Chains A and B, each alone.
Chain A
Amino acid sequence: MAVITTNGLTHTFRTKRGPVAAVRGIDLTVERGEILGFLGPNGAGKTTTLRMLTTLLPPTGGSATVAGHDLARDPAGVRRRIGYVAQSGGVDPTVSVREELVTQGRLYRMGKAEAAARAGELARDLGLAELLDRPCAALSGGQRRRLDIALGLVHRPEILFLDEPTTGLDPGSRADLWQSIRRLRAEHGMTVFLTTHYLDEAEALSDRLVIVDQGLVAAEGTAERLKAEHGGAPDATLQDAFIAITGRGTTPRNPAPLAV
């Protein structure tokens, strides 16, 4: 059963220097309990798509149903069922780890005791137990990333959106996080929609990949299928396929000039 369906989902930013067509019509379906890897070069429109699916950004075209609720008509219904970990996180540096976790639970309408218990549980699961009383400013990059992820899990969402969750994590933490994501799916049937620039991670973690480029879906399928169809050689890697599909590596085709 599909938990996410989008239909020509579009967002064009209006800027002073004219419109920016960030997402130009995305059609996709995500099945319940699936781990979907959402890949694409910098600026392809991944974050913009996630911000639309999480109700932060109203689409300028198209429609979507997320966790059984229409994005435009019932954003509140969507919000109750999803968790979102933004690419650049979202914690107040002056607030303690515990306060952030408890507040997040309360924002999801948990009682005080329940929110406090859940904060302790998540801190244990994500290796933050010793850091609970530190201000967020005093966390390392990887510790902060784990806190961001804990915040997205507080209410045990049906769908978890992760925007580059492992950027900045050491290899050990990265492996731990993969483990946690697989466990969440196994134990709670959670659907995970994640973006990443690490192709090994995408391959190891995802059931299926969607590759976007310039705001459109360029290819989709299992890693095996993408390699076979786009890799060009029997022993092709996912990277070969990615480059063949997008016409470049993970850097943009027209990088900004270094000096103006």
Chain B
Amino acid sequence: MPHLVADTALIFGRYARQTLRSKPALIFGMVQPLLFLVFFGPLLTDLPLGGRASSWQTIVPGILVQLGLFSASFTGIGLILERRTGVVERMRVTPVSRLALLMGRVLKDVVQLLWQSLVLVGVAVALGLRAPVLGVAIGFVFVGALTISLASLSYALAMRVSSPQGFAPVINSITMPAILLSGILLPMSLGPRWLDIASHFVPFRYLVDGVRAAFAGEYGDGKIALAALVATALGVVAVTLGARLFRQAGA
């Protein structure tokens, strides 16, 4: 696949420009996590959330993962609408790499998400977050990996359903339990034992724990290693599956 990189860059550029053109969507995508940060964060400042980390070091990672989870899983909606214009078929008749059609879009989502994460962390620092730069960078890598996985699956699903009405319920029924069970809002270790155990079956939990450990500067206790393992496995499975579904979709 000698053309994969150039093709991916081309597709990335097209959708990056499209995103920059729709400024309202860019801004509104940030509103929900910012509201969480400003109105939910201060509620927890004096609560003991376990560990030696400050409450901001617990909340901000949760909000970041939640932002990644939501925006990546719903990103396919745009593709469903775009399919109606005929642009997708027009591109699929050209020799452009099928994987690039997927990865160019996914990369755009990753860059957009990292940019939003940067803004969020900036605001959080203003509100009182203190975290090591290395830890924040590690956290961003995890959020980026999560975006690659979920966006790939989201686009693959979008090639298979014909309307946003067929798409949103599927995504909602996956993201809502995933968010509740992965301890995004509060650490699962605070809850009853059964809930804690249940959450261990949700892969996102390990990512949230990993990002929290990174923000707390606790690099050695295995949580980051475990998160890296889960993120890699999730990424390999999701991208392979997504790419296959994306390539096959024709009818």
Q: Does A2 contact B (CB under 8 A)?
A: no
Which segment of B32-40, B53-61, B85-93, B229-237 sits at the interface?
B85-93
Residues of A within 8 A of B14 (CB): 95, 103
Is A56 a contact of B86 with CB atoms below 8 Å?
no
Residues of B within 8 A of A80 (CB): 95
Beta-carbon nearest neighbor of B91 in chain A: A107
Known: A94-B21, A107-B10. A56 touches B89 (CB 8 A): yes
Residues of B within 8 A of A55 (CB): 92-93
Is A90 a contact of B250 with CB atoms below 8 Å?
no
Q: Does B94 contact A (CB under 8 A)?
A: yes
Is B94 a contact of A91 with CB atoms below 8 Å?
no
Is B250 a contact of A57 with CB atoms below 8 Å?
yes
Give the docked Cα–Cα distance between A108 and B94 (Å): 6
Known: A57-B250, A103-B14. A108 touches B95 (CB 8 A): yes
Is B95 a contact of A90 with CB atoms below 8 Å?
no
Is A86 a contact of B21 with CB atoms below 8 Å?
no
A153 to chain B, nearest CB (A): 13
Is A90 a contact of B10 with CB atoms below 8 Å?
no
> For chains A and B in complex, what number of residue pairs have CB atoms within 8 angstroms?
65
Residues of A within 8 A of B79 (CB): none
Q: Does B18 contact A (CB under 8 A)?
A: yes
Is B3 a contact of A90 with CB atoms below 8 Å?
no
Is B87 a contact of A82 with CB atoms below 8 Å?
no
Known: A58-B250, A103-B14. A90 touches B94 (CB 8 A): no
- For residues 37 through 56 of chain A, which have their beta carbon under 8 Å from a beta carbon of chain B? 51, 54-56
Give the docked Cα–Cα distance between A148 and B91 (Å): 12
What are the interface flags for B1-15 relative to A under an 8 Å C-beta threshold, 1 for contact and 0 otherwise?
A: 001001100100010
Residues of A within 8 A of B17 (CB): 99
- For residues 88 through 106 of chain A, which have their beta carbon under 8 Å from a beta carbon of chain B? 88-95, 99, 103-104, 106
Q: Does B251 contact A (CB under 8 A)?
A: yes
Known: A80-B95, A107-B94, A109-B95. A91 touches B251 (CB 8 A): no
Known: A55-B93, A107-B96. A86 touches B86 (CB 8 A): yes
Q: Does A84 contact B (CB under 8 A)?
A: yes
- For residues 64 through 117 of chain B, which have their beta carbon under 8 Å from a beta carbon of chain A? 82, 85-96
Known: A92-B85, A94-B18, A108-B95. A86 touches B90 (CB 8 A): yes
Is B10 a contact of A56 with CB atoms below 8 Å?
no
Residues of A within 8 A of B85 (CB): 90-93
Residues of A within 8 A of B95 (CB): 76, 79-80, 107-109
- For residues 153 through 199 of chain B, which have their beta carbon under 8 Å from a beta carbon of chain A? none
Is B89 a contact of A92 with CB atoms below 8 Å?
no
B249 to chain A, nearest CB (A): 10
Residues of B within 8 A of A89 (CB): 86
Q: Does A151 contact B (CB under 8 A)?
A: yes
Give the docked Cα–Cα distance between A113 and B166 (Å): 42
Give the docked Cα–Cα distance between A59 and B139 (Å): 46
The 8 Å CB contact of B10, one of A51, A58, A84, A106, is A106
Is A90 a contact of B18 with CB atoms below 8 Å?
no
B191 to chain A, nearest CB (A): 42
What are the interface flags for A171-199 relative to B under an 8 Å C-beta threshold, 1 for contact and 0 otherwise?
A: 00000000000000000000000000000
Beta-carbon nearest neighbor of A89 in chain B: B86
For B90, B92, B93, which residue has the most chain A Cβ atoms within 10 angstroms?
B93
A51 to chain B, nearest CB (A): 8
A49 to chain B, nearest CB (A): 14
Residues of B within 8 A of A109 (CB): 3, 6, 95
Q: A-contacting residues of B (Cβ < 8 Å)?
A: 3, 6-7, 10, 14, 17-18, 21-22, 82, 85-96, 250-251
Give 25 A-B contacts (CB < 8 Å), ordered by A residue.
A14-B251, A56-B92, A57-B251, A58-B250, A80-B95, A86-B86, A86-B89, A90-B85, A90-B86, A90-B88, A90-B89, A90-B90, A91-B86, A91-B90, A92-B18, A92-B82, A93-B85, A94-B18, A94-B21, A95-B14, A104-B90, A107-B7, A107-B10, A107-B96, A108-B95
Q: B-contacting residues of A (Cβ < 8 Å)?
A: 13-14, 51, 54-58, 76, 79-80, 82-84, 86, 88-95, 99, 103-104, 106-109, 151
